Amino acid sequence: MIRSIQTSVITENIKEMCIQANHYLSKDMDAAMKNAVFTEKSELGKKILNQLQENLKIADEEMIPICQDTGMAIIFMEIGQDVHFEGENIEDAINEGVRQGYTEGFLRKSVVKDPIIRENTKDNTPAIIHYSIVPGNKVKITFAPKGFGSENMSRVFMLKPADGIEGVKNAILTAVADAGPNACPPMVVGVGVGGDFEKAAIMAKQALTRNVDEHSNIPYVCELEKEMLEKINRLGIGPGGLGGTTTALAVNINTYPTHIAGLPVAINICCHVNRHVVRVI
Amino acid sequence: MDKYIHTPITEEITADLKSGDYVYITGTIYVARDAAHKRMMEALEKGEKLPIDIKDSTIYYMGPSPAREGRPIGSAGPTTASRMDKYAPTLLDLGEKAMIGKGKRTKEVMDAVVRNKAVYFAAVGGAGALLSKCITKSEIVCYEDLGAEAIRKIEVENFPAIVVIDCEGNNLYETAIREYCMK
């Protein structure tokens, strides 16, 4: 049945999600960060992980953003095909939510209007919005503000089919090793395998929004996620990149059909402030 | 080893800092990141004076979130230092003595650190709320139009940092990783 949703409701929700995501870590990330304190072997690594625990506590209690890079606003909109939006156009409504959230929430405005001229837009808009049309009459919003320390360390590899799964593994390890301390480890590694150039990258970003305690439901991908996490944690990079056994908290891999001639692999790296908030309206 | 140091960070101080030392910094430091560094370089190219007192200065690569009422600053963790690699050797040669950031540096920066007996510290990336508590005062010095990228002068108290590159050119990012690498 067709359902009408006022776009002002979307604005209000996005605004709240901006503030929520930047002050409180999601439960899955919080648990992974707490667990890392116990499993880390390096003394300095443990000290850093304890500082990060203290940081989360201060962010929560005193409403100071977890990280000063409160990110570019990345939003996945899964819109039920039986939804009818009323009010101003949906894109403007989303950006208005970002504008209000970043201004009223004392969040940093980190967006420049033009990549070369580089004048700050002063309200953190525009957001980067990925729409998909899904069955039903609800709207699922995933808000995942992304810091660029880790974003800058992300990679796309256009592998050959002959490279196979070993090629995928090498690509992931290369990206993580190159990222090292720059990506604020312990990191979360989002991987997209298959599709085409941009599909792989979007899958990698979306993989970061999957809870870190959940695995792929494809058996070989699930195994690959576990194997890569173990291998990454043997690189020695550690918390803050200062040596240790906790380099990543999770490797989340998404896949999609691809062309007979290709094997695209995208690796989107996120720091330990892997923010993702989901609401269904 | 834990060490407590005060700014200005001079050659006498850097001579005593070893890669891997955990330090607590107290005193006055400057805050500048990408756009501010670019403008400082443009000023130098035009033969103008730098807007900051560069001799024995410490520059923290950081762009804070806005301060809530009653606070000196918002969240205030380090940004990736490699983006300042293009500018750092010039500033080090002019007298900058310490840099605080996170992440790897180029060989040119490492050489400039050794040449000038300077130091590169890492602060913990993503600990912006915690680090903001060590900042007691903040004022904008110049380039206010750059917003979060303006140059600030801040007072820090027991600001925690780790010596990554010391004045002899030892690099903790290389040595520490080797210790835990199990390839």
In a domain, A192, yes or no: yes
Q: Cα B20–B23–B25 angle (5° rounding)?
A: 150
Task: State which residue of chain A sits closest to B19, comparing Cα positions.
Answer: A242
* pLDDT reported for residue B140: 97
Query: CB A106 to CB B180 under 8 A?
Result: no
Do A191 and A172 contact (CB within 8 A), yes or no?
Answer: yes
In a domain, A154, yes or no: yes
The continuous run of DSSP H or E covering A62 comes out as helix A43-62
Same domain, A137 and A239: no
Task: State which residue of chain A sits closest to B1, comparing Cα positions.
Answer: A44
Of the residues A93, A124, A146, the one at which a domain ends: A146
Contact list in A for residue B67 (CB cut-off 8 A) is 106
Q: ipTM of this predicted complex?
A: 0.94
A140-167 per-position pLDDT tens digit = 999 999 999 999 999 999 999 999 999 9
Residue B183 has pLDDT above 80, yes or no: no
Contact list in B for residue A66 (CB cut-off 8 A) is 75, 126, 128-129
Same domain, A128 and A254: no
Scanning the structure block, which residue is given the tokens 């923290």?
B60
Query: CB A149 to CB B80 under 8 A?
Result: yes
* Domain B2-137: assigned CATH number: 3.20.130.10
Other beta carbons within 10 Å of B56: 17
**B101 interfaces chain A, CB cutoff of 8 Å:** no
In a domain, A255, yes or no: yes
Same domain, A116 and A247: no
Number of domains in chain A: 2
Residue-wise DSSP of B74-112:
S-----BGGGGTTTHHHHHHTT--EEEEBS---HHHHHH
A32-56 per-position pLDDT tens digit = 999 999 999 999 999 999 999 999 9
Counting Cα atoms < 13 Å in the Cβ hemisphere of A254 gives 20
Same domain, A257 and A171: yes
Query: CB A152 to CB B62 under 8 A?
Result: no
- Candidates A54, A68, A169: best to mutate against B (most CBs of B within 10 A) is A68
Contact list in A for residue B82 (CB cut-off 8 A) is 182
In a domain, A246, yes or no: yes
Give the alpha-carbon dihedral of A272, B125, B77, B58, to 10 degrees.
180
Query: CB A234 to CB B181 under 8 A?
Result: yes
Of the residues A95, A126, A146, the one at which a domain ends: A146
**B33 interfaces chain A, CB cutoff of 8 Å:** no
A215-253 per-position pLDDT tens digit = 999 999 999 999 999 999 999 999 999 999 999 999 999
Contact list in A for residue B178 (CB cut-off 8 A) is 236
Residue B106 has pLDDT above 90, yes or no: yes
In a domain, A252, yes or no: yes
- Partners of residue A130 on adjacent β-strands: A76
Same domain, A18 and A96: yes
Calculate the average pLDDT of chain A: 97
Same domain, A251 and A153: yes
Chain B, 107 to 166: residues with Cβ < 8 Å from chain A are: 122, 124-133, 146-149, 160, 162, 164
d(CA B143, CA A120): 13
A82-115 per-position pLDDT tens digit = 999 999 999 999 999 999 999 999 999 999 999 9
Contact list in A for residue B124 (CB cut-off 8 A) is 48, 51-52, 55, 240
Angle between helices A219-232 and A164-179 (to 10 degrees): 40
From the list B133, B160, B178, the residue facing A58 with the nearest CB is B133
- Candidates A242, A245, A249: best to mutate against B (most CBs of B within 10 A) is A242
The whole model's pTM is what? Answer: 0.95
From the list A62, A66, A180, the residue facing B104 with the nearest CB is A180
Same domain, A83 and A196: no
d(CA A243, CA A247): 9
Same domain, A79 and A99: yes
Using 50, 70 and 90 to split pLDDT, how confident is the model at B1?
Answer: confident
Query: CB A149 to CB B147 under 8 A?
Result: no
- Longest CA pairwise span in chain B (Å): 51
B56-89 per-position pLDDT tens digit = 999 999 999 999 999 999 999 999 999 999 999 9
Task: State which residue of chain B sits closest to A152, comparing Cα positions.
Answer: B80
Contact list in A for residue B172 (CB cut-off 8 A) is 242-243
Residue A62 has pLDDT above 90, yes or no: yes
Of the residues A146, A171, A199, the one at which a domain ends: A146
Using 50, 70 and 90 to split pLDDT, how confident is the model at A194?
Answer: very high
Question: Comparing C-alpha atoms, which of B122, B129, B128, B149 is closest to residue B32?
Answer: B149
* pLDDT reported for residue B182: 86
Chains A, B: CB contacts under 8 A, how many? Answer: 170
Query: CB A236 to CB B148 under 8 A?
Result: no
Same domain, A227 and A257: yes
- Partners of residue A185 on adjacent β-strands: none
d(CA B88, CA B114): 13
d(CA B62, CA A140): 35
Same domain, A73 and A12: yes
Query: CB B103 to CB A244 under 8 A?
Result: no
Contact list in B for residue A248 (CB cut-off 8 A) is none
Q: Which domain holds residue A115?
A: 3-22+66-146
Same domain, A160 and A141: no
Do B16 and B24 contact (CB within 8 A), yes or no?
Answer: no
What is the rounded average pLDDT of the residues B140-160?
Answer: 96
Same domain, A86 and A162: no
Using 50, 70 and 90 to split pLDDT, how confident is the model at A118?
Answer: very high
In a domain, A38, yes or no: no
Query: CB B181 to CB A118 under 8 A?
Result: no
